[in-house]
């Protein structure tokens, strides 16, 4: 089950499962133009200034705060095409560059749709145009520009979809994206598709959980946010994707909407006890979307009258030395005296005091990635519906070598590490799920068995940095530190 944070649009879907596709491009197989699939760029500036479209994979959009992942947040995955006018600076020559598709065949199509994911910012005089070739001439079908000309949108994000009747029946069609500017901002594009939709809009979903009108729905309380779920429904047969909308109003829309939400996922949000929430599902395909009835549920009341008791009885014991770490991945099991049955726990750990890495934890679970002959500080935060109680900070020092009895035991291993995207998992058993945490303990990605392909997961949407990857198979689990390049 994947935990998704509300009020953040995660994925924009192109809705192509039920369409006849004649062109598709995600730039994953190339690092420069021209691509192996025939995409080309051209420098039309006078004189030429070599400021053209390139392929990038950082997820960043030019002109925004460094370290942003704006492209990935708006549908991009892995590689994408970008024209970074801001990055090129001002050399006195206006930029004029095109990104042009290979020739494709629309001769059998009776309708044509163009779809792509984008982040466009045309501030400071930039202009983007989308042009199509009908076999004899180019026609502009959309212009993005500043308020001085064209559509008055300086910023455009997400999935853009256009009907293109100009290409119906054309056997030698093309599309191109033109950016003209001089030290403007940028335009990034990914997941380009040209297709004909072959289905009607999907039917509304049914048989939901929590059931409409359900009461006493449990909240999983956390230190900074709460979790509720899973949200489930019977799939609409022709739907490509789903959006979920939630609210405390009867319309079910005043809290927010998550696009690309899968049945079976849960949601991180500031859920409140004894509160009625309303929600509905939009089933989406290339022909449109169909909205379900508005459902409702009421969360369970908080029965606690005080914050929980602080954790005690640590294992490893406070100030323990020569604590054995097991296996090649450096595992140590952590436990403490359990509190009330409804209490949940967050483990905070690090080599400095106060510990700076935090994530959900269960009594007796192992944590891997620990180093020999190292002192660690750790603390348990105990959570219930009333509040959070921080425990005392304990410490222990690991042994100077791996446990002899476990030196040759390997449950899971991963490669490559560091990784730029695909992370392969080596295991003698089937992997049930993979959960990725950042160093703040936040769940940033989850993969169930159906999302794990050839014993690998795709981490390309994550920003560069260090992550804790928890791999589970049956009753075995292991957490491994992974670096994302």
Please give the average per-residue pLDDT across 258-272, as a whole number: 90
Average pLDDT, the chain: 87
Topology agreement, domain 19-197 and domain 412-484 = no
pLDDT of res. 5: 47
Residue 73, SS3 per DSSP: helix
Separation between Cα atoms, residue 227 and residue 4, nearest integer Å: 9
Given a contact cutoff of 8 angstroms between Cβ atoms, the answer to whether 149 and 82 are in contact is no
Please give the average per-residue pLDDT across 407-412, as a whole number: 53
Separation between Cα atoms, residue 388 and residue 441, nearest integer Å: 16
What is the domain partition of the chain in residue ranges? 19-197, 201-299, 320-406, 412-484
Percent of the chain past pLDDT 70, that is, above it, reads 90
Residue 117: CA count within 13 A, CB half-sphere: 26
Fold of 19-197: Jelly Rolls (2.60.120)
In this structure, of 302-316, 342-356, 456-470, the range with the lowest mean pLDDT score is 456-470
Domain 201-299 is of which CATH architecture? Sandwich (2.60)
Express each pLDDT in 303-314 by its tens digit.
999 999 999 999
Q: Is the pLDDT of residue 193 over 60?
A: yes
Please give the average per-residue pLDDT across 243-270, as a whole number: 92
Q: Is the pLDDT of residue 78 over 50?
A: yes
Separation between Cα atoms, residue 65 and residue 73, nearest integer Å: 14
Assign 409 a pLDDT band (cuts: 50, 70, 90).
Answer: very low
Domain 320-406 is of which CATH architecture? Sandwich (2.60)
Kindly state the greatest CA–CA separation across the chain: 79
Please give the average per-residue pLDDT across 70-89, as a whole number: 85
Please give the average per-residue pLDDT across 350-360, as a whole number: 91
Express each pLDDT in 362-389 by its tens digit.
898 888 888 889 999 999 999 999 999 9
Separation between Cα atoms, residue 278 and residue 43, nearest integer Å: 52
Express each pLDDT in 98-123 by its tens digit.
999 999 999 999 999 999 999 998 87
Termini Cα distance of the chain: 26
Q: What is the pTM of this model?
A: 0.60
Pairing mode, strands 214-217 and 295-299:
parallel
Residue 318, SS3 per DSSP: coil
Residue 97 structure tokens:
């560059």
Q: Which parts of 304-430 are beta strand (E)?
A: 320-323, 332-333, 344-350, 357-361, 366-367, 375-383, 388-390, 394-398, 412-415, 422-427
Given a contact cutoff of 8 angstroms between Cβ atoms, the answer to whether 118 and 187 are in contact is yes
Assign 7 a pLDDT band (cuts: 50, 70, 90).
Answer: very low
Q: Please list the residues that pair with 189 across neighbouring strands.
A: 81, 118
CA distances from 187 to 64, 239, 287, 433 (A): 12, 30, 27, 36
pLDDT of res. 75: 74
Beta-carbon contacts of 26 under 8 Å, excluding residues fewer than 6 positions away, are 77, 78, 79, 190, 191, 192
Torsion angle (degrees, nearest 10) of CA 357, 69, 1, 269: 80
Separation between Cα atoms, residue 458 and residue 327, nearest integer Å: 26
CB atoms within 10 A of CB 176: 18
Angle, CA 147 vertex, CA 144 and CA 149 arms, to 5°:
65
Beta-carbon contacts of 405 under 8 Å, excluding residues fewer than 6 positions away, are none
CB atoms within 10 A of CB 135: 15
Separation between Cα atoms, residue 463 and residue 76, nearest integer Å: 13
Assign 159 a pLDDT band (cuts: 50, 70, 90).
Answer: confident
Class for domain 412-484, per CATH? mainly beta
DSSP-assigned letters across all residues of 438-484? -TTS-EEEEEEGGG-BTTEEE-TTSPSEEEEEEEEETTEEEEEEEEE
Separation between Cα atoms, residue 407 and residue 397, nearest integer Å: 19
Express each pLDDT in 213-240 by its tens digit.
999 999 999 888 899 999 999 999 999 8
Separation between Cα atoms, residue 297 and residue 423, nearest integer Å: 38
């Amino acid at each position: 089950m994947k935990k998704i944070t509300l009020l953040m649009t995660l994925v924009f879907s192109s809705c192509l499962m039920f369409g006849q596709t004649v062109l598709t491009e995600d730039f994953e197989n190339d690092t420069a133009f021209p691509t192996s699939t025939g995409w080309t760029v051209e420098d039309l500036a006078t004189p030429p200034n070599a400021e053209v479209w390139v392929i990038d994979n950082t997820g960043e959009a030019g002109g925004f705060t460094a370290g942003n992942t704006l492209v990935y947040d708006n549908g991009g995955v892995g590689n994408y095409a970008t024209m970074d006018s801001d990055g090129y600076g001002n050399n006195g020559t206006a930029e004029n560059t095109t990104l042009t598709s290979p020739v494709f065949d629309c001769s059998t199509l009776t309708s044509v749709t163009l779809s792509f994911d984008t982040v466009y910012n045309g501030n400071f005089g930039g202009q983007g145009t989308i042009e199509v070739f009908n076999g004899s001439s180019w026609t502009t079908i959309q212009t993005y520009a500043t308020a001085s000309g064209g559509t008055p949108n300086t910023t455009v994000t997400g999935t853009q979809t256009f009907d293109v009747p100009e290409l119906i029946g054309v056997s030698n069609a093309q599309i191109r994206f033109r950016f003209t500017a001089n030290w403007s901002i940028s335009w990034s594009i990914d997941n380009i598709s040209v297709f004909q939709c072959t289905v009607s809009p999907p039917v509304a979903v049914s048989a939901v959980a929590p059931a409409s009108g359900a009461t006493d729905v449990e909240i999983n309380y956390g230190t900074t946010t709460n979790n509720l779920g899973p949200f489930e429904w019977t799939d609409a047969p022709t739907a490509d994707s789903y959006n979920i909308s939630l609210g405390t109003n009867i319309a079910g829309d005043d809290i927010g909407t998550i696009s690309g939400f899968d049945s079976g996922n849960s949601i991180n949000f500031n859920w409140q006890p004894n509160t009625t929430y309303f929600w509905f599902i939009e089933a989406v395909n290339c022909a449109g979307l169909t909205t379900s009835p508005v459902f409702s549920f009421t969360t369970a009341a908080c029965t606690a009258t005080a914050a929980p008791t602080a954790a005690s009885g640590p294992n490893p014991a406070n100030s323990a030395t020569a604590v054995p770490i097991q296996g090649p991945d450096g595992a140590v099991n952590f436990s403490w005296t359990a509190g009330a049955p409804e209490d949940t726990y967050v483990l905070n750990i690090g080599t400095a005091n106060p510990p700076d890495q935090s994530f959900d934890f269960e009594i007796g679970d192992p944590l891997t990635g620990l180093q020999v002959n190292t002192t660690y500080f750790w603390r348990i935060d105990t959570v219930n519906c009333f509040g959070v109680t921080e425990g005392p900070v304990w410490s222990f020092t690991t042994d100077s070598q791996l446990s002899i009895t476990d030196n040759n035991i390997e449950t899971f291993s991963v490669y490559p590490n560091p990784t730029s995207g695909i992370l392969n998992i080596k295991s003698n058993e089937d992997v049930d799920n993979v959960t990725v945490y950042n160093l703040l303990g936040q769940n940033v990605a989850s993969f169930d068995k159906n999302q794990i392909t050839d014993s690998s997961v795709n981490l390309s949407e994550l920003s560069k940095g260090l992550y804790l990857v928890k791999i589970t198979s049956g009753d075995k689990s292991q957490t491994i530190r992974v670096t994302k390049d």
